[in-house]
Copies of this chain bind each other. A is one copy, B any other.
Amino acid sequence: MLSKKTKYGLKALAFLASQKGKEPVQIAEIAKHENISQKFLESILLSLRKTGFLGSKKGKGGGYYLIKDPKEVLMTDIMRVLEGPIAMVPCVSLNFYEKCDDCPSEQECSVHMLMLKVRDSALEIYRNNTLADLIA
């Protein structure tokens, strides 16, 4: 299941992408428009800024804005920052690989191959969708 953090983050990014101008949008406005707890959203936007998706401006007239063209922002990158691994088990993760402690070998593991297929199919979707597609 998608975490609230991810869902809210996606909605916030989509909302920012739907804005015509490049004017900063305040947290409060996004939170209100998307029915999100403002404080919770604040921490999510902060992490999106620190990972290079958003820029921000303090003080009056401040807020958050997209740094890149929505068409250039791949869903793979967004998902990995918000939700973490796209794979359902660490042993088939490209960016968050970890060995399973209960498996003697990945060759023998009955779960490994199936989860590899699932990961690949999810990757295909995320690689072929950008932030711009969220608002289309």
Contacts and interface: CB of A to CB of B under 8 A. Distances in A.
Interface string A117-135: 1100110111001000111
A129 to B, nearest CB: 6
Nearest to A103: B35
A31 to B, nearest CB: 11
Could you say how many copies of this chain the assembly holds? 2
A132 to B, nearest CB: 11
A interface majority secondary structure = helix
Interface of A: 1-2, 7, 10-11, 14-15, 34-36, 75, 84-85, 88-90, 102-104, 109-111, 113-115, 117-118, 121-122, 124-126, 129, 133-135
Given A114-B129, A114-B133, 14 more contacts: A7-B102, A10-B110, A10-B111, A14-B111, A15-B110, A35-B103, A36-B102, A75-B114, A111-B134, A113-B134, A114-B125, A114-B134, A118-B125, A121-B122
